[in-house]
Amino acid sequence: MNLSTKAKWIAAGTVAVAVLLFITFRYAAQPPPPAVSVPPSVQLQESRLVGRKDGQRQWEILSRSVLQEGDVVTLRELEEMVVFQDEEPYLTIQAPEAEWERKTELLRLFGPVLVEGEEGFRLESDYLEWQGRSSKLLSPGPVQMLWRGMEISADTMTMDTEGEIVFLQGNVEIRDGGLVWKLEEAVYDLDAESMDFYGNVVLEGEAGSD
Amino acid sequence: MTKRLTLLCLLAGMLALAPAVWAQGQSGTLEITGVPADVPAGRYDRQAGVFSADVSAIEGALVHVTFEEVKIVGQTMEWRTDDDYLIFTGGATLTKEDFTVTGDTLEYFGKEKKLHAVGSVVVVTDDATVYANELVYDEETDEAVFTGQVKVVFDDGVLEGEKFVMFLEKSELQFFGAFQGTFETD
């Protein structure tokens, strides 16, 4: 066999292989699935999320449904939420739904929200924000609190959990035994148990108080 | 004149007894007015049981304490809730019906049941005006003691001395030390 005959055989073999490959992929192999639009999200069931700052645990959430979409994590059917201070449980929170913005460290709690802490601390609001960067708990709407026998309500509240200071604004009412304070703004130092009152103040002493 | 002094005694007695109402658990109010919303008006130290307010630097701002028919108005006050002690400093006026007591300092000691007014004390009633440096009323002994440059001014006369004591229930008056009186006669 001379070289040209060999070349012919090689060319014929190549064509045969190409035809076989074409037939195999065209008719024998399954076609690839059509392209499906997948959102950039992750849904988890029965999850425990932990928020940390400088390595320290800030909060922990046990949720039945966690949906992550970009930087926003939506939590539904919350079972347990604990805010920590110095690695110790500081506040427990009950809320039906929450949103966590990871980049801004903002945790939004949709109400009715109930926050409970030591010494009978109790806070109720329709909406709360936990600002992780500043360690502040914010209620931009009406809030009711119980603390060491006092009943406190206000139009808005900001709690600095590091400084243990509560800022109350608008229609502030503090009921302490038989005394009822009504004022425009109050700054309450939880640790020192002292309150600074701003603007006009009304104190009503009720019958039966000492 | 005896009738006038008896009336004065009775009014002073009502005046002195009035602050005890708060301690007995009746309704009362404390109101701070004329303070801008961003300016601190007072502080309540719950641990110490002390409420203090100082609005003397705020023009037009006042602290009003009202219990029953008694009203005290001033600008600087402190109320110690545990022992029921109330003090107004920097000038205050106590008003009840038709009389007033003004002093640089007004104090009420709830436990001791004493009212103490010091500095430029003026008690004004329909019948007379009493000036003194100091007034102490003791609910237990029922004594109202005016001391220091005491001057009792009636429509028709003036009594002046250093110490003047009123025993309220007995409607009795005692003048200590040198006292002099001047009265117009018909």
Per-residue pLDDT of B129-141, as tens digits, reads 889 999 998 878 8
Q: Which residues pair with B89 in a beta bridge?
A: B76
Mean pLDDT of chain A: 82
Which residue from B27, B33, B47 is facing A200, i.e. has the nearest CB?
A: B33
Residue A63 in tokens: 């949720």
Q: Which residues pair with A182 in a beta bridge?
A: A173, A202
| Residue of chain B nearest A194, judged by CA positions | B45
User: Which pLDDT belongs to residue B68?
Assistant: 76
**Cα distance between residue A90 and residue A162, in whole Å:** 11
Q: Is the pLDDT of residue B3 over 50?
A: no
Assigned CATH class of B98-186: mainly beta
What does chain A look like in DSSP terms, one character per residue? Answer: --HHHHHHHHHHHHHHHHHHHHHIIIIISPPPPPP----SEEEEEEEEEEEEETTEEEEEEEEEEEEEETTEEEEEEEEEEEEEETTEEEEEEE-SEEEEETTTTEEEEEEEEEEEEGGG-EEEEEEEEEETTTTEEEESS-EEEEETTEEEEESEEEEETTTTEEEEEEEEEEEETTEEEEEEEEEEETTTTEEEEEEEEEEEEPTT--
User: Which pLDDT belongs to residue A166?
Assistant: 94
A66 confidence band (pLDDT: 50, 70, 90): confident
Note the pLDDT tens digit of each residue in B11-65: 333 334 344 434 445 568 999 999 999 999 999 998 899 999 999 999 999 999 9
| Residue of chain B nearest A191, judged by CA positions | B47
User: Which pLDDT belongs to residue B13?
Assistant: 39
Nearest-Cα distance to chain A for B82, in Å, is 8
Q: Is the pLDDT of residue B171 over 50?
A: yes
Q: Do B29 and A202 touch (CB under 8 A)?
A: yes
Residue B186 in tokens: 């018909």
Q: Do B27 and A201 touch (CB under 8 A)?
A: no
Higher pLDDT, residue A96 or A32: A96
Note the pLDDT tens digit of each residue in A120-150: 889 999 999 989 889 899 999 999 999 888 9
Nearest-Cα distance to chain B for A209, in Å, is 5
Tell how far CA B82 is from the center of its chain. 21
A201 CB neighbours in chain B (<8 A) are 30-32, 35, 41-42, 53
Higher pLDDT, residue B97 or A110: A110
pTM for the full model? 0.74
Note the pLDDT tens digit of each residue in B71-116: 999 999 999 988 889 999 999 999 877 678 999 999 988 888 888 9
Q: Do B44 and A206 touch (CB under 8 A)?
A: no
User: Which pLDDT belongs to residue A116?
Assistant: 93
User: Which pLDDT belongs to residue A175?
Assistant: 94
User: Which pLDDT belongs to residue B63?
Assistant: 96
What is the CB neighbour count within 10 angstroms for residue A81?
23
Q: Which of A153, A154, A151 is nearest to A121 (CA)?
A: A151
Residue B131 near residue B104 (C-beta atoms within 8 A): no
Which residue from B23, B30, B39 is facing A203, i.e. has the nearest CB?
A: B30
**Cα distance between residue B129 and residue A107, in whole Å:** 67
User: Which pLDDT belongs to residue B139?
Assistant: 77
Q: Is the pLDDT of residue A83 over 70?
A: yes
Q: Do B41 and A200 touch (CB under 8 A)?
A: yes
Q: Do B31 and A176 touch (CB under 8 A)?
A: no
Tell how far CA B125 is from the center of its chain. 13
User: Which pLDDT belongs to residue B5?
Assistant: 37
How is chain B split into domains, by residue range?
98-186
Helix (H) or strand (E) holding B81: none
| Residue of chain B nearest A203, judged by CA positions | B30
User: Which pLDDT belongs to residue B54?
Assistant: 96
* A20 φ, ψ (degrees, to nearest 5): -60, -45
Which residue from A193, A199, A200 is facing B46, i.e. has the nearest CB?
A: A193
**pLDDT-wise least confident of A4-8, B53-57, B141-145:** A4-8
| Residue of chain B nearest A149, judged by CA positions | B46
Q: Which residues pair with A167 in a beta bridge?
A: A158, A187
CATH code, A41-205 = 2.60.450.10
Nearest-Cα distance to chain B for A69, in Å, is 42
DSSP for residue B141: T
Q: Which of B60, B43, B63 is nearest to B52 (CA)?
A: B43
